[in-house]
Amino acid sequence: MRKNYIFLLLLFWIIIPAIGQEKAIEKPIPEPQVFSSTQNVRINGVNHSLKTRAGTMLLRDENNEPIALHGFTAYFKEDGPSKRPIIFSFNGGPGSSSYWLHMGVMGPKRVVVNDPGYTKAAPYELVNNDYSILDIADVVMMDPIGTGLSVPVGKAEGKDFWGVDQDIRAISLFIMQFLKEYDRLQSPKYLLGESYGTMRNAGVMKYLLDKGYALNGVVMVSAVFDIRSLAFPVQESTSYLVHFPTYATTAWYHDKLKNKNPNLEAFVDEVRKFTEEEYLPALFKGGRLSDSEKARVAEKLERYAGVSKDTWLRSNLRITAREFFNELMREDGMTVGRLDSRFIGINPMPQNQFAITDPQSDAISPAYTAGFLDYFHRDLGVSKDLTYKTSAYASPGFRWDWSHKGNEGWGSMISINTAIDMADAMNKDPNVKVLIMNGYYDLATVFYGVEHTIDQMNLRPEIRDNIIMTYYEAGHMMYTHMPSLIKFKTDLEDFIKDTMK
């Protein structure tokens, strides 16, 4: 009897774990859901009817195994095969969904905000987007895994998507499979990414090309490719140098300069010249810089950026962006925005070295969030049983892997640079063009940092000419500023038409 009991016990230990493992392997794959509707947009006096699909697509890996339900919203002029341009668009983060671009500039409706002030609470105003690109191109808004409705399935986990290379692969797989699913392989193809989405773009354009998918154009909104330009690493001057022109434009905007040049573009050129010819050599000399030389440079730093000479001297001619947010308007009890330095907000702790909030984000986020969710569920008809995640930051285990193939051995995330991917793709395909859209008041991804990165890409002149730079008197999300929104549409339309010639 005892032997039988031991045998049954052993059998229990063997079978039960095996059953558990079998269930894990055979975990059911949720069915993708797509909600269809017809949306309308009026552009330049012409009404456009759009066949809209919002929901998820089953994403498979290279071995045809299901790995995710990938969320998207697609606007088509017509169903089936088409040679109309198609734009795949996403925001950044990393870990942000695409609702900012969706409701700011790309979709048929946009959220109205009180730029550059604080938008009042609901009801928020959603209006026809007169400046959408939907009159000349179809648009697919993409939500990376962990955002929107996008979730891992099967054996896949979040970590399989949360990293520089993992993200590039997943986004590329979605684009390739979407083009096949919706019969758009022959359509002119574009990417449009914002912020970290531009770092993603650089990797995706190489990945797709290497798989045989050539792009007609790539649009970078508020770009960054080299993390060094943002990180302010110890004993490294690049971040301080590339941020300085945006410190200057911010001070110019807020009238913190004496006898300022009234022409912003001419002023920026003047600051670029000072940065390259005087500020850079001073930082390079470091401890060899004499007191008199340091004082002269500090005086010019005050002249161009509004922060006092004494502050520059105390900080050894180096002020980080987080310090500048608080320092410029400290005496006024205010702090300036990171995403858009035109925005100002109350500084509750003016004695702090660093800012503790971003006025631009505080000012517009509620309007975008509530406005989009209302549109997503009511207008697009997406089931209210589904939860749209505006970001992945609250997802269990969310942590970004900053390693990147091609950057091995560089040491840390501050060395990650996908400009090498963009250069590789542009050299392999000399027809592809890149539009980079920069905000003069963007202190999150500074325009001079992008210019510096492009200058270091070692491109032949004819390839370098395929990069078009445009500038806006606004910040990171330049489309919240009406004159910049109008210019955004014109620049994007011209770019697409040029690449279609």
199's tokens: 């770092």
For residues 175 and 165, the answer to whether their CB atoms sit within 8 Å is no
Q: Could you identify the residue written with the tokens 């990393």?
A: 94
pLDDT at residue 414 in the model: 58
The pair of structure tokens assigned to 334 is: 């205010």
What was the pLDDT predicted at 10?
35
Q: Using CA atoms, how far apart are residues 232 and 345, in angstroms rounded to an integer?
A: 24
Statement: residue 3 has pLDDT above 80: no
What are 61's two structure tokens? 């890996």
| 323: confidence class by pLDDT, cuts 50, 70, 90 | very high
Strands 46-60 and 34-43: antiparallel
- Quick: pLDDT tens for 239-293: 999 999 999 999 999 999 999 999 999 999 999 999 999 999 999 999 999 999 9
Q: Look up residue 167 and give its two tokens.
A: 């993200």
Name the residue among 492, 499, 472 with its Cα closest to residue 222.
472
Question: Quick check: 178 pLDDT over 90?
Answer: yes
Buried b (16+ CB within 10 A) or exposed e, 105-115: bbbbbbbebeb
Question: Higher pLDDT residue, 416 or 74?
Answer: 74
For the four alpha carbons of 157, 91, 97 and 500, in that order, the dihedral sign comes to negative
Average pLDDT, the chain: 93
Average pLDDT over residues 394-398: 90
Residue 14 in this model has a pLDDT that exceeds 60: no
The helix (H) or strand (E) run that includes residue 190 is: strand 189-195
Query: Minimal CA–CA distance to 225: which of 429, 450, 405?
Result: 450
Structural domains of the chain in order of their starting residue, each with its CATH number:
34-228+365-499 (3.40.50.1820), 234-360 (no CATH)
Amino acid at 374: D
Q: What is the pLDDT of residues 343-389, one digit of tens each?
A: 999 998 888 888 889 999 999 999 999 999 999 999 999 999 999 99
Residue of higher predicted confidence among 18 and 396: 396
**DSSP string for residues in 351-420:** T-SS----HHHHHHHHHHHHHHHHIIIIIS---TTSPPBSBSTTSTT---B---TT-TTS-SGGG-BTHH
Report the alpha-carbon distance of residue 228 to residue 237 in Å, rounded: 10
Output the pLDDT for position 327.
Answer: 96
Q: What is the CA radius of gyration of the chain?
A: 25
pLDDT digit string, tens, across residues 120-143: 999 999 999 999 999 999 999 999
**Residue 33, pLDDT score:** 98
Encoding tokens for residue 108?
Answer: 């048929």
Output the pLDDT for position 412: 53
CB 221 within 8 A of CB 192: yes
Is the overall model pTM greater than 0.75, yes or no?
A: yes
Range from 3-7, 35-39, 222-226, 252-256 carrying the lowest mean pLDDT:
3-7
Kindly give the pairing relationship between strand 66-76 and strand 467-472. unpaired
Is residue 30 reached through a cis peptide bond, with omega within 30 degrees of 0 on the bond before it? no
Take residue 426 and report the two structure tokens written for it: 């542009």
Q: How does pLDDT run across 18-50, given as a tens digit for each residue?
A: 444 444 454 689 999 999 999 999 999 999 999
Question: Which residues are within 8 A (CB) of 200 and not within 5 positions of it... i.e. 6 or more apart?
Answer: 90, 92, 94, 167, 168, 171, 193, 418
pLDDT band at 409 (very low <50, low <70, confident <90, very high): low
Biggest alpha carbon–alpha carbon distance for the chain:
101
Residue 6 above 50 pLDDT? no
What share of the chain has pLDDT > 90, as a percent? 87
Query: CA–CA separation, 231 vs 286, rounded Å?
Result: 19
> Which DSSP helix (H) or strand (E) runs through 126?
strand 126-128
Distance CA 268, CA 245 (A): 7
Q: Is the peptide bond before 116 cis (omega within 30 degrees of 0)?
A: yes
Note the pLDDT of residue 252: 98
SS3 per residue for 445-473: CCHHHHHHHHHCCCCCHHHHCCEEEEEEC
